[in-house]
Chains A and B, each alone.
Chain A
Amino acid sequence: MKKIIFALSLTIIMVVLAGCGSGSGEKVYVYSYGDYFDPELIEMFKEETGIEVILDTYDTCEEMYPVIKNNSASYDVLCPSDYMIERLIEEELLSEINFDNVPNIKNIGDKYLEMSREFDPENKYSVPHTFGTAGILYNTEMVGDKVIDSWEDLWDEDFAGEIVMQDSIRDTFMVAEKILGYSLNTVDEEELKEASELLKKQKSLVYKYANDSARDILASESAALGVIWNGEYLYALELNDKLDFVVPKEGSQLFVDSWVITKTSENKENAEAWINFMCREDVAKKNFEYLTYSCPNVAAQALLDEDILNNEKVFLTEEMIDNSEVLKDLGPKGNELYSKYWKQFKAE
């Protein structure tokens, strides 16, 4: 039944779209986070390889997952985050990458491949694209004399109405879990309940729950401090030089977003060419300059200015990495538990 519905709707969409499709030639269908690599690279890739990139984007991994799971569109390459890759591997939705076609994997630093082993134990399915951590971006003038170094500062009543939180289940819960000293992968119902109570308590102090716009709200000084990815720091600094960034002492979340190839990929070699291209040092460097999210490409890192490379807010120290946790997939039961408490907290 499900198949029939999809087949029917697909056929009709195909018929409608057939008129729009253009020419033949090599293609690769890329599905990634929005604005996650320099758009100029698409043109560059086409010029070098003759392969046309067809790009679709998503805001959250959760949005991408059902599309891949139901195979309702045939994408070749995805760029999901760690825990989602783990889930995709577990459900056999990814295919192993043929690294003979991705020689530039040598540019990816060993320690980053080691980070990847948390979710891709044999480094068979994924190639890291960016990594980083969450922290607090704050306005040094607006917070006054206070030292910002703990997640608990986000519960400080002096900052009522000036706090920005992430609006994404795991990332929002992470903050409460770290304050309570729990793992951010906990599936213990009592611990989750406690975390959601803590978040409810904070709700009246929060100016806004925001993902991508958090940076702009802080840069425009509509709020004093907020949870944000370290990759946003350099860009935010350009918008407002009063901003500073800190990774709280309780530790944080470490993410690794990586390229993977779907099981159903029909252009696997093109997909590998795309991944290989993204791993080339000049491309990775261009990407870093566009994105400012830390890149795991050591060959590209060598091309960067010393002071950027040594800026621990951009390229994390070993200590910060050790103090952070990578999100794990929690399985259907765990995910449902998070959904349940998330909804309750949101409904307050």
Chain B
Amino acid sequence: MTYKKSLAVPFIIWILAGTIIPIGAIAYYGLTDRNENFTLENVLAIGDSVHLQALWLSVLLALISTVICFLIAYPLAIIMRNSNLGKRGFMIFLFILPMWMNFLLRTMAWQVLLEKNGVINGVLETIGLPALEIINTPAAVVLGMVYDFLPFMILPIYNVMSKIDDSVIEAAYDLGASTSKVITKIYLPLSIPGIVSGINMVFIPSLTTFVISNMLGGGKINLIGNIIEQEFTVSSNWNLGSGLSLVMMLFIIVSMIFLERFDKTGEDSFI
């Protein structure tokens, strides 16, 4: 073994243990039944009305939260780009700060905050406003998704934005472009790689989450992630759970390929 190759050994073990073997195990369980015979039933089970319904709801909620994240993140990225260095660093720090805390804890915090007799309603009540009743509804789940995944939208967009040459923007203004023109004709096209990667990093975890819907949906919001989780924890049916996971993987790969087409620069944007 050459020196260079031996350097790759830890990485290979890592990939083997963390990616290849688990995916192999999922594929194995997904394509067999309880008696270890080959079957496609677990994969085709996605066509079940119950599963389709959950998948549809997941896509819908993931889309909504991705759009909301984008609408918040995009203007913010422009503002951060145009701020001076110190201010910019501080703003990034503010958005990264919550990520230092475990995301389960943060989601659980929302549960406590939004509870019918929770902190938010306590405050609203004392200042005489009507109570906010969104806990255990899809709205709370979307709120949780946006809160948890927003930094993943802001950072890649900001990253690309900060690389846009100032002179390009100045040239546009010099030639008489309005601010809205600059945003649509300069910022937007040049930041597409960041947007694509941001969308991927918000849409995919939103699509597959089960923790957020468990905690903020009160057991009433059934996403495809919850169905898969329950196959493992409640129904003890690893085969069906794995089969549905395979479908989700396919779904994710397709959506990534689809998004990749928008990213004409061809830059590797999935980080």
* Interface set, chain B 6-54, CB cutoff 8 A to A: 13, 16-17, 21-22, 24-25, 28, 34, 36, 49-50, 53-54
Stretch at the interface among A2-10, A151-159, A255-263: A2-10
CA distance A343 to B235 in the complex (A): 10
Q: Is the CB of B50 within 8 A of A2?
A: no
Q: Is the CB of B236 within 8 A of A66?
A: yes
B235 — which chain A residues lie within 8 A by C-beta? 62, 335-336, 339
> Are A167 and B13 also in contact (CB < 8 A) when A1-B28, A335-B235, A339-B234 are?
no
Instruction: Mark A1-43 against chain B: 1 for CB-CB distance below 8 A, else 0.
Output: 1100100110011001000000000000000000000000000
CA distance A69 to B239 in the complex (A): 14
B118 — which chain A residues lie within 8 A by C-beta? 220, 222
Residue of A nearest to B16 (CB): A12
CB distance from A102 to the nearest CB of B (A): 29
Q: Is the CB of B25 within 8 A of A207?
A: no
Q: Is the CB of A209 within 8 A of B220?
A: yes
Majority-rule SS of A interface residues: helix
Q: Is the CB of B218 within 8 A of A208?
A: yes
> Are A208 and B219 also in contact (CB < 8 A) when A220-B117, A222-B116, A335-B236 are?
yes
Interface residue B232 (Cβ < 8 Å from any Cβ of A)? yes
Instruction: Mark B80-96 against chain A: 1 for CB-CB distance below 8 A, else 0.
Output: 00000000000000000
CA distance A209 to B217 in the complex (A): 9
Q: Is the CB of B236 within 8 A of A65?
A: yes
Interface residue B263 (Cβ < 8 Å from any Cβ of A)? no
Interface residue A347 (Cβ < 8 Å from any Cβ of B)? yes
Q: Is the CB of B117 within 8 A of A346?
A: no
Count of A-B contacts with CB under 8 A?
Answer: 88
Q: Chain A CB within 10 Å — which of B133, B232, B237 has the most?
A: B237
Q: Is the CB of A343 within 8 A of B227?
A: yes
Interface residue B152 (Cβ < 8 Å from any Cβ of A)? no
Q: Is the CB of A5 within 8 A of B50?
A: no
Q: Is the CB of A5 within 8 A of B24?
A: yes
CB distance from A344 to the nearest CB of B (A): 6
Q: Is the CB of B219 within 8 A of A59?
A: no
Residue of B nearest to A12 (CB): B17
> Which one of A203, A221, A336 lies within 8 Å of B117 (CB-CB)?
A221
* Interface set, chain B 145-188, CB cutoff 8 A to A: none
A60 — which chain B residues lie within 8 A by C-beta? 233-234
A2 — which chain B residues lie within 8 A by C-beta? 28, 36
Instruction: Mark A304-348 against chain B: 1 for CB-CB distance below 8 A, else 0.
Output: 000000000000000000000000000010011001001110110
* Interface set, chain B 209-253, CB cutoff 8 A to A: 218-220, 222, 226-227, 230, 232-238
Q: Is the CB of A207 within 8 A of B50?
A: no
Q: Is the CB of B116 within 8 A of A347?
A: no
CB distance from B117 to the nearest CB of A (A): 5
CB distance from B27 to the nearest CB of A (A): 10
A217 — which chain B residues lie within 8 A by C-beta? 115
Residue of A nearest to B114 (CB): A222
Interface residue A53 (Cβ < 8 Å from any Cβ of B)? no
CB distance from A248 to the nearest CB of B (A): 21
> Are A209 and B21 also in contact (CB < 8 A) when A343-B50, A343-B227 are?
no
CB distance from A18 to the nearest CB of B (A): 13
CB distance from B20 to the nearest CB of A (A): 10
Residue of A nearest to B136 (CB): A208
Q: Is the CB of B34 within 8 A of A332?
A: yes
Instruction: Mark A158-175 against chain B: 1 for CB-CB distance below 8 A, else 0.
Output: 000100010111000000
> Which one of A16, A66, A165, A168 lies within 8 Å of B17 (CB-CB)?
A16
CB distance from A20 to the nearest CB of B (A): 15
Residue of A nearest to B116 (CB): A222
CA distance A9 to B232 in the complex (A): 19
CA distance A220 to B219 in the complex (A): 19
CB distance from A196 to the nearest CB of B (A): 12
Q: Is the CB of B116 within 8 A of A207?
A: yes
Q: Is the CB of B25 within 8 A of A5?
A: yes
Q: Is the CB of B233 within 8 A of A347?
A: no
Interface residue A63 (Cβ < 8 Å from any Cβ of B)? yes
B25 — which chain A residues lie within 8 A by C-beta? 5, 9
CB distance from B106 to the nearest CB of A (A): 17
Residue of B nearest to A339 (CB): B235
Q: Is the CB of A223 within 8 A of B116?
A: yes
A208 — which chain B residues lie within 8 A by C-beta? 135-136, 218-220
Q: Is the CB of B116 within 8 A of A9?
A: no
A343 — which chain B residues lie within 8 A by C-beta? 50, 222, 227, 230
What are 8 residue pairs bridging A and B, where the CB atoms are less than 8 Å apart in the complex?
Answer: A1-B36, A5-B24, A62-B233, A63-B232, A210-B219, A222-B116, A343-B227, A347-B53
The 9 A-B pairs at the shortest CB distance, nearest first, are namely A209-B219, A208-B218, A222-B116, A339-B235, A167-B219, A12-B17, A63-B233, A347-B50, A222-B117
Which B residues fall within an 8 A CB radius of A? 13, 16-17, 21-22, 24-25, 28, 34, 36, 49-50, 53-54, 115-118, 133, 135-136, 218-220, 222, 226-227, 230, 232-238
Given contact pairs A5-B28, A339-B237, enumerate 18 new A-B contacts (beta carbons under 8 Å).
Answer: A1-B28, A5-B24, A8-B21, A62-B236, A63-B232, A66-B236, A66-B238, A161-B116, A203-B220, A208-B218, A208-B219, A209-B219, A209-B220, A220-B118, A222-B115, A335-B235, A342-B234, A343-B227
